[in-house]
Structure 1
Amino acid sequence: MKQIEPVRRVNLTTRVMESIKDYISSNNLGPGDRLPSEKVLTSSLNVSRNILREALKSLEAVGLIEIKVGDGMYVSSFDYSNVVDHISFAILRNDPEMAHFIQARLIIEVGLMDLVVRNLDEVSLLQLEECNRRISEATTAEEFTELDLDFHRQLLEIADNPILSEFGAFLGRFFIRAQKLVGMDARDRTAEGHRELLAALRARDVNAAKDVMRRHIHTWDPQLEEHRDKEHPSGGNGGSAS
């Protein structure tokens, strides 16, 4: 029989961080607004100065506050990249399967087409076409990988959503790992998939663009599986390349 597990007390530093975030939110503080002094915070929160400083350093690390030595503490302009860096590290350190990257791409990049079609202009479309032309002419796996990544990052930029733009960090990891497996084998198929997508975008056909993007991402499934089988001919666990 499974034993009842003891209730774990929430880390005090974490509780202090949450209290400070609640204070910022409830008082509608914005970038540049000053926070109370350490003395006031330690008294209000009833914690030691060491605990408070740990919490403040953690909040500064994720970009929520700025500590100015000799001046005080201020609410920062929120930087999405700081948060994404922490999330990326937490996810990638667990070495997720390539299939998980593909699932994430399907959810985000297919849905992205609504914003891309809405915001796309002729200049952006020409830049995408030029990038894809260079993909079709790439002569090394490294060049192909970088250009392919650039193509998808351009789509994220066209969407003009700062949170989605940071998804490029995840994309980069996917393309690097995929390139180690398939090398140049996917170049022609990738360029053709991009051409189909560009045709749908030029026609401003959102549904067609979503269908093309979905098929384009799914083409990675058999390619990666084929190369994993070559790496593990004896029937290995099928894990992703490191």
Structure 2
Amino acid sequence: MRIQKASLKNIVIERIKNYISENNLKPNDKFLTEKMLTEQLKVSRTVVREALISLQAVGILMIKPGGGIYIADTKLGSIHTILKHHYETYGVKIRELVEIRKILELGALRLIIEKQVPLDIDQLKEINESYHQTIKNNEDTKKFDRLFHQSLIKATDNATFFNFSEIIHEYFSLVKIDLIENQEALIRSYEQHNEIVDAIRDNDLVHAQKTMTDHFEPIFTFIKQMEEES
């Protein structure tokens, strides 16, 4: 586990939030376009898009397909502000955050299976294969791992649940901690993703949740070691 420097996406997120504050933008005000942000911030459109998606997820922006970007009119943004303030004031226990994320993902599996939500199995498999490819190429795996879990939460067909999950993820990202795993562990993670998808397809909630629990075990083990050493 290591402390990471702020990513380019996070830097863009902070600059966008500063721009909103400095210009006193209000809910439903139209925001800058992707192209304008790319030119002003001197970063790629991919980075800008990822930052915008994150800001939409935590209730700061609202992206209307084909209709532009607006300042969101939602109370979820204030929840994120409260969480950020709590982190900056009191700090946070990593174990507690991981426990929350585990509860959310186990709950997502239950919602998907119990509600019989139509799931795009092929899309999830495709994302996981991209994850597998980054493992084999010894590239950064976080993007596709994050996308896989994000897609599961989104598949609950519950917008409030998804937004809350994104807020918790943003809160988790504030600590900028990353578990470094070897290739064998990453391959096991890839296999667990496939097991989870197959269990959802078979409506096997018990197996899906057990596999997800196993999926979280490496980080809990690492946290325990850190707690014992401190």
- Cα RMSD of the aligned pairs, angstroms, is 3.5
Cα deviation, 1:77-105, whole Å, max 9, x if unaligned, reads 96253143224313432331221112112
Who is 2:207 aligned against? 208
1:85 aligns with 2:80: yes
Structure 2 CA distance for partners of 1:114 and 1:236, relative to 1, 3 Å: closer
Aligned residue number for residue 150 of structure 1:
147
Q: Deviations over 1:97-139 (max 9, x none)?
A: 22111211222211221212235425x2211111111111215
Aligned match of 1:68: none
The worse-fitting range, judged by mean Cα deviation, of 103-112 and 145-154 is 103-112
Q: Is the alpha carbon distance of 1:225 and 1:188 closer, same or farther for their aligned partners in structure 2, counting shifts above 3 Å? A: farther
Q: SS state of the match for residue 79, structure 1?
A: coil
- Counterpart Cα distance in 2 of 1:109 and 1:203: 18
Residue number among 105, 123, 130 corresponding to 2:126 in the alignment? 130
Match 2:100 to one of 92, 101, 104: 104
TM-score between the two structures when normalised by the length of structure 2: 0.56
Are residues 80 and 86 of structure 1, via their aligned partners in 2, closer, same or farther at CA, if it must alter by over 3 Å?
Answer: same
Distance 1:147 1:172 in 2: 17
Q: Which moved more, 1:211-220 or 1:140-149?
A: 140-149
TM-score by length of 1: 0.54
Quick one: distance in 1 between partners of 2:81 and 2:139?
27
CA contact (8 A) 1:102 1:218 kept: no
Structure-2 change in CA distance of 1:177 and 1:198 (3 Å) = farther
SS of 2:134's equivalent? coil
Larger CA Rg, structure 1 vs 2:
1
Give the deviation of 1:177 after TM superposition: 5.6
How far apart in 1 are the matches of 2:194 and 2:188? 10
Mapped partners of 1:162, 1:141: distance in 2: 34
Higher relative contact order (CA 8 A, sep 6+): 2
Read off the aligned partner of 1:104 and give its amino acid letter. Answer: I
- Cα 1:211–1:88 change in 2 (3 A) is same
Mapped contact 1:182–1:223 kept (Cα < 8 A): no
- Between the aligned residues of both structures, percent identity stands at 19
Contact 2:95 2:223 in 1 (8 A): no
Equivalences for residues 1-242 of structure 1 within 5 A: 79-93=74-88, 94-117=90-113, 118-122=115-119, 124-139=120-135, 143-166=140-163, 167-172=165-170, 174=172, 180-182=178-180, 186-225=185-224, 228=226, 236-237=229-230
Distance (whole Å) between structure 1 residues aligned to residue 171 and residue 99 of structure 2: 14
Distance in 1 (CA, whole Å) between partners of 2:176 and 2:139 is 11
5+ unaligned residues in a row in structure 2: which ranges? Answer: 1-58, 61-71
Cα pair 1:120 1:158 within 8 Å, conserved:
yes
The CA distance in 2 between the partners of 1:80 and 1:184, in whole Å, is: 40
- 1:132/1:176 Cα in 2 relative to 1: closer, same or farther (>3 Å)? farther
Number of residue equivalences: 159
Structure 1 residues 89, 119: CA separation in 2 closer, same or farther (over 3 Å shift)? farther
Whole-Å separation in 1 of the counterparts to 2:150 and 2:209: 17
| Distance across 2 between alignment mates of 1:162 and 1:80 | 14
Offset at residue 198 of structure 1 (A): 1.1
Which runs of 5 or more residues in structure 1 are unaligned? 1-61, 64-76, 230-234, 238-242
Q: Is the 8 A contact 1:112 1:159 kept in 2?
A: yes
